[in-house]
C-alpha cells in the first residue's frame, strides 16, 4: 500500500510540474477573477447617484417655485418653504455622506473637494433662501402698512404714482425713490425710502439664486457619474467575450493535458 501511495504521489508531482497544469490553473484563476468583477454592481451604483442628483434638481426647482410665490406676495406662509428647503439640505448632506462611504470602499467617485463644495453651496443656499423668505414676508407687511397711509393722500396723481411704484416693488423689481415722495410727510417718506432700499437688496439677493454654484456643482457631479456609468458598461460588455475565450482555452488545455497524461 505504501509503495502504491508513493507511486501516486510521484505521478501527481510529475504532472504538477508540467506546464499544462499551470496553464489550467492560471486560466481558472482568470475566469474566477472575471466572474468576481462582473458581479460588482458599479453601474447600478452610479445610476443610483445620478438619480439622486436628478431628484435634488427637481426638489430645488420645487423650492424655487414656492420661493417665487413668496417673492411676489402670493403666499405669505413660509412654513412650506422652510420645510421644503430643509429637505433640500438633507438630500445634499445624505449625498455627501454616501459618496464618502463609497470612496472608503474603494469605488471611483468624484473628488472630496468637489463633493464637499457642493454640500457647502447647498447649505449656504438653503440658509439664504430661509433668510430671504423671512425678510420678504416682513417687507410685505411694511408695504401694506405704507399703502394704507398712501390711500389717505388727497392728491390723486401722487397717490396713483406711488401706488404704481409700490406695485412694481411688490413684483420684485428694483424701484428707486420717486419725486412724488417729496409731498409725503417726513415719517412716511423715510419709511418708504427704507422700503425701497430693502426691496433693492432683496431683488439682488434673488438674482444671486439664479447664478448659484450649487446647481453648477450638481451638474458636474451628475456628468461624472454618467461618464463613469458609460465607461463601466463599455468595460462590462467585453467581459462575456473574454469569459468565452478563456473558457475555450481552458477546454483545449484540459484536453491536451489529458492527452499528454496518457502518453
pLDDT digits (tens, 9 = 90+) for 197-249: 999 999 999 988 877 788 889 999 999 988 887 776 665 656 666 566 666 66
Residue 54 placed within a domain: yes
Residues of the chain above pLDDT 70, percent? 67
DSSP string, 109-136: ---HHHHHHHHHHHHHHHHHHHHHHHHH
Domain of 108, in residue numbers: 20-258
Distance CA 22, CA 202 (A): 75
What is the Cα 240 distance to its own chain's centre? 33
Residue 1 placed within a domain: no
Distance CA 174, CA 165 (A): 9
**Orientation of helix 112-150 relative to helix 156-170, angle to 10°:** 160
Distance CA 70, CA 78 (A): 7
b/e map 207-233, b = 16+ CB within 10 Å: eebeebebbebbeebbebbeebbeebe
Q: What is the mean pLDDT of the chain?
A: 79
Please give the pLDDT value at position 233. 60
pLDDT tens-digit profile of 44-53?
778 888 999 9
* Mean pLDDT, range 135-143, rounded to an integer: 92
Residue 7 placed within a domain: no
pTM for the model: 0.72
* Mean pLDDT, range 45-64, rounded to an integer: 90
Range scoring the smallest mean pLDDT among 24-28, 101-105, 149-153, 202-206: 24-28
Residues of the chain above pLDDT 90, percent? 34
Residue 106 placed within a domain: yes
Counts for the chain of helices (H) and strands (E), in that order: 8, 0
Task: From residue 249, give the alpha-carbon distance in Å to each of 98, 237, 258, 263.
Answer: 42, 20, 14, 21
Distance CA 235, CA 46 (A): 14
Please give the grid coordinates belonging to residue 12. Answer: 501527481
Please give the grid coordinates belonging to residue 86. Answer: 430643509
Q: How confident is the model at residue 151 (pLDDT cuts 50, 70, 90)?
A: confident
Residue 263 placed within a domain: no
Residue 8 placed within a domain: no
Total domain count for the chain? 1
79, with CB counted inside 10 A (0-12, 13-18, 19+), is: exposed
Q: How confident is the model at residue 175 (pLDDT cuts 50, 70, 90)?
A: confident
Please give the pLDDT value at position 139. 93
Task: From residue 56, give the alpha-carbon distance in Å to each of 50, 75, 85, 227, 229.
Answer: 10, 23, 11, 19, 19
Evaluate if residue 6 carries a pLDDT over 90.
no
Highest mean pLDDT among 66-70, 174-178, 190-194: 66-70
Amino acid at each position: 500500500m505504501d509503495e502504491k501511495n508513493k507511486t501516486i504521489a510521484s505521478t501527481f508531482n510529475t504532472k504538477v510540474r508540467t506546464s499544462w497544469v499551470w496553464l489550467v490553473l492560471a486560466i481558472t484563476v482568470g475566469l474566477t477573477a472575471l466572474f468576481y468583477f462582473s458581479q460588482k454592481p458599479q453601474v447600478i451604483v452610479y445610476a443610483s447617484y445620478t438619480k439622486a442628483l436628478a431628484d435634488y434638481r427637481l426638489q430645488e426647482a420645487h423650492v424655487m417655485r414656492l420661493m417665487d410665490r413668496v417673492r411676489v406676495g402670493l403666499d405669505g406662509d413660509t412654513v412650506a418653504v422652510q420645510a421644503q428647503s430643509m429637505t433640500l439640505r438633507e438630500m445634499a448632506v445624505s449625498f455627501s455622506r454616501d459618496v464618502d462611504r463609497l470612496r472608503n470602499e474603494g469605488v471611483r467617485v468624484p473628488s472630496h473637494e468637489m463633493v464637499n463644495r457642493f454640500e457647502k453651496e447647498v447649505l449656504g443656499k438653503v440658509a439664504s433662501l430661509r433668510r430671504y423668505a423671512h425678510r420678504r414676508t416682513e417687507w410685505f407687511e411694511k408695504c401694506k402698512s405704507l399703502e394704507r397711509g398712501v390711500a389717505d393722500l388727497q392728491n390723486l396723481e401722487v397717490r396713483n404714482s406711488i401706488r404704481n411704484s409700490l406695485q412694481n416693488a411688490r413684483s420684485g423689481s428694483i424701484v428707486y425713490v420717486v419725486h412724488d415722495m417729496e409731498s409725503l410727510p417726513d415719517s412716511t417718506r423715510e419709511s418708504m425710502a427704507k422700503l425701497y432700499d430693502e426691496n433693492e437688496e432683496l431683488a439682488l439677493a434673488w438674482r444671486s439664486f439664479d447664478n448659484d454654484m450649487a446647481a453648477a456643482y450638481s451638474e458636474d457631479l451628475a456628468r461624472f457619474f454618467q461618464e463613469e456609468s458609460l465607461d463601466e458598461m463599455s468595460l462590462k460588455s467585453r467581459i462575456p467575450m473574454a469569459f468565452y475565450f478563456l473558457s475555450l482555452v481552458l477546454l483545449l488545455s484540459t484536453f491536451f493535458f489529458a492527452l499528454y497524461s496518457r502518453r
